[in-house]
C-alpha cells in the first residue's frame, strides 16, 4: 500500500463532522506556564460548579488530566469533570474541545472557541496547565482543527492526524517532541488496508504509538514509521496504553469484550464488562495513571462506567449521557 493510500485511509476514516461557533467574548491565550492559574483544584475553585443533572452530548475525549484523580470529559460545550462521586462543569471557557488528550500537567486539545469568544476559529493546537482556565496556543491558530490527536501522558510526544493541509503540514500523521516547535511525518508502514479508529501515544515511551483497527491494535516503536500487529486479529473499537500493558475493547461474536494485554509477554487478561445494551459498544477507555485498576469506559450510547478493581465491579456514572 502506498503512503498516499495510507494517509487517505486514516484521514477519511477518522473524519467526523466538525462543530462550529461564533466569536465575541474577550479572551486571549497565555504565552507561558507562569501565566496560568495557580489554583488547579476542581472542588475548591470558582471556575467549577457542581452539576447535579444534565446530559453529556458530543463527547470528544476522556482522560485523567493533571494527576488529580479526576476524570475529564471534553464535549462540544466545554469540560465536565467527575471527582469523588460528584460531577462538575466549568462556568466559562466552554470551548468545543476536539482531540482532547490528558497529560500529567494538564491537557492538550484542538477545536473551536465557545460561542461569543473573541478567540479565532479554529483554535489550532492548544495546551492548558490549569484545567482549562487559561489556554496556551502551540500553533496552527485559525488554520487547523485536529479531530484526532494524542499526547503521551508524561512524554508529551504529540501526534496529530492532519486532514487538510495547513501552512506547515501536509495531509497525514505527524509528530512533535518539542511541544509543536518542529514536526516530522509518520510513514505508517505496516498498517493494514482497513479503517483506522483510535490513535494513542504511550504515556512514557516517547517513541511508541498505537492505532486500533478492525483487525486489531497495531503498535509502532519508531513514532509511527513502522507498525506491527500487537493483538490477535480482532475487531477493535478502541484502546489505551498503560505503562506496561494495552487495554483494548473489541467486538467478538456480537459482544463487547475488554482485554488487558502485557506489552512484554503479550499475556491476555480478560476483564469483565458491565451489562451493555444490545449492539452498544465501547467507544472510549481511560485509566487512572496513579492506579491502573481504575478504568473508565464510555459506550456509543453514552453510558459511562467506572471500575476500581480491574472490572471486578462497575459503577454507572451516566446512562445514555444522563448524569
Tell me if 271 is assigned to some domain. no
Residues 6+ apart with CB under 8 A from 207: 157, 220, 221, 222, 223
* pLDDT recorded at residue 24: 54
Query: What does pTM read for this prediction?
Result: 0.92
pLDDT > 90? residue 9: no
Q: State which residues form the domain around 119.
A: 20-27+41-146
- Angle at the Cα of 126 from the Cα atoms of 112 and 67, rounded to 5 degrees: 115
Tell me if 158 is assigned to some domain. no
Specify the number of domains making up the chain: 1
pLDDT > 60? residue 7: no
Going by pLDDT thresholds of 50, 70 and 90, the confidence category of residue 14 is: low
pLDDT > 90? residue 23: no
Going by pLDDT thresholds of 50, 70 and 90, the confidence category of residue 27 is: confident
The rounded distance, in Å, linking the Cα atoms of 89 and 79 is 6
* pLDDT recorded at residue 33: 97
Tell me if 168 is assigned to some domain. no
pLDDT tens-digit profile of 110-154? 999 999 999 999 999 999 999 999 999 999 999 999 999 999 999
* pLDDT recorded at residue 17: 38
* pLDDT recorded at residue 309: 98
Tell me if 222 is assigned to some domain. no
Going by pLDDT thresholds of 50, 70 and 90, the confidence category of residue 8 is: very low
Q: Beta 216-220 vs 282-288: how paired, if at all? A: unpaired
Tell me if 217 is assigned to some domain. no
Q: Beta 71-75 vs 59-63: how paired, if at all? A: antiparallel
Q: 121 with 23: CB under 8 angstroms?
A: yes
Tell me if 281 is assigned to some domain. no
What's the chain's average pLDDT?
Answer: 93
Q: Is the dihedral of CA 31, 34, 40, 44 positive or negative?
A: negative
Mean pLDDT of the 89-107 span: 97
**% of the chain beyond a pLDDT of 90:** 89
Amino acid at each position: 500500500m502506498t503512503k498516499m493510500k495510507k494517509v487517505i485511509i486514516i484521514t477519511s476514516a477518522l473524519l467526523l463532522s466538525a462543530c462550529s461557533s461564533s466569536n465575541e467574548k474577550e479572551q486571549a491565550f497565555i504565552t507561558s506556564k507562569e501565566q496560568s492559574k495557580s489554583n488547579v483544584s476542581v472542588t475548591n475553585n470558582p471556575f467549577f460548579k457542581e452539576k447535579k443533572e444534565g446530559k453529556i452530548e458530543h463527547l470528544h475525549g476522556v482522560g485523567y488530566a493533571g494527576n488529580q484523580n479526576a476524570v475529564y470529559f471534553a464535549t462540544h460545550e466545554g469540560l465536565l469533570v467527575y471527582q469523588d462521586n460528584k460531577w462538575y462543569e466549568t462556568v466559562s471557557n466552554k470551548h468545543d474541545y476536539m482531540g482532547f488528550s490528558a497529560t500529567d500537567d494538564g491537557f492538550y486539545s484542538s477545536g473551536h472557541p465557545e460561542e461569543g469568544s473573541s478567540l479565532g476559529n479554529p483554535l489550532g493546537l492548544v495546551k492548558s496547565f490549569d484545567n482549562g482556565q487559561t489556554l496556551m496556543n502551540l500553533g496552527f491558530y485559525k488554520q487547523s482543527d485536529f479531530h484526532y490527536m494524542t499526547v503521551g501522558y508524561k512524554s508529551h510526544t504529540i501526534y496529530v492526524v492532519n486532514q487538510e493541509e495547513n501552512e506547515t503540514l501536509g495531509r497525514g500523521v505527524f509528530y512533535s517532541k518539542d511541544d509543536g516547535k518542529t514536526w516530522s511525518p509518520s510513514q505508517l508502514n505496516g498498517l493494514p488496508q482497513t479503517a483506522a479508529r483510535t490513535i494513542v501515544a504511550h504515556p512514557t515511551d516517547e517513541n511508541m504509538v498505537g492505532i486500533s483497527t478492525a483487525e486489531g491494535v497495531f503498535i509502532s516503536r519508531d513514532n509511527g514509521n513502522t507498525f506491527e500487529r500487537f493483538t490477535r486479529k480482532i475487531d477493535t473499537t478502541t484502546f489505551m496504553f498503560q505503562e506496561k500493558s494495552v487495554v483494548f475493547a473489541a467486538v467478538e461474536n456480537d459482544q463487547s469484550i475488554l482485554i488487558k494485554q502485557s506489552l512484554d509477554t503479550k499475556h491476555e487478561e480478560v476483564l469483565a464488562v458491565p451489562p451493555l445494551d444490545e449492539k452498544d459498544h465501547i467507544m472510549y477507555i481511560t485509566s487512572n495513571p496513579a492506579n491502573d485498576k481504575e478504568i473508565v469506559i464510555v459506550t456509543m450510547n453514552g453510558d459511562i462506567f467506572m471500575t476500581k478493581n480491574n472490572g471486578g465491579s462497575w459503577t454507572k456514572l451516566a446512562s445514555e449521557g444522563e448524569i
